[in-house]
Amino acid sequence: MTRIVLGNARIVLPNDVVHGHVTAEGGWITSIDTGRKLPVGAIDFAGDFLMPGLVDLHSDHLEKHIMPRAGVYWHALSAAVSYDAQVISSGITTMFDSFGLVGEEFDSDRNGALGRMLQGMEEAAIEGLLRADHFIHLRCEIIEADIVERFATLQEHPRLKLVSLMDHTPGQRTFPDSNKWKMHQKRRTGASDAELDAILAARQEARDQYAIRNRRAISKICQEKGIVVASHDDTTLDHVLEAKELGNRISEFPTTRLAATEARRRDVQIVMGAPNLVRGGSHIGNLSASECARASLLDVLASDYIPASLLHAAFLLNGETIGWTLPQAVATVTSSPAACVGLDDRGEIVLGKRADLLRVRLHNRLPVIRSVWRAGNLVY
For the segment 60-102, what is each residue's pLDDT rounded down to a tens digit?
999 999 999 878 899 999 999 999 999 999 999 999 999 988 7
pLDDT of residue 103: 58
pLDDT of residue 1: 73
pLDDT of residue 241: 96
Residue 358, C-beta contacts closer than 8 angstroms, at least 6 positions apart = 49, 50, 51, 52, 53, 54, 91, 93, 311, 369, 371, 372, 373
pLDDT of residue 111: 60
CA-CA-CA-CA torsion for 174, 176, 182, 187, nearest 10 degrees?
Answer: -40
287 vs 212: CA distance, rounded Å: 25
pLDDT of residue 173: 81
Start and end residues for every CATH 2.30.40.10 domain found in the chain: 1-52+347-380
**How much of the chain, in percent, has pLDDT values that exceed 70?**
97
pLDDT of residue 105: 47
Spell out the CATH class of 54-345.
alpha beta
Contact 317, 293 (CB under 8 A): yes
Q: How many residues does the chain have?
A: 380
CATH topology of domain 1-52+347-380: Urease, subunit C; domain 1 (2.30.40)
Start and end residues for every CATH 3.20.20.140 domain found in the chain: 54-345
316 vs 318: CA distance, rounded Å: 5
Mark the ranges of the chain whose per-residue pLDDT is less than 70.
103-111
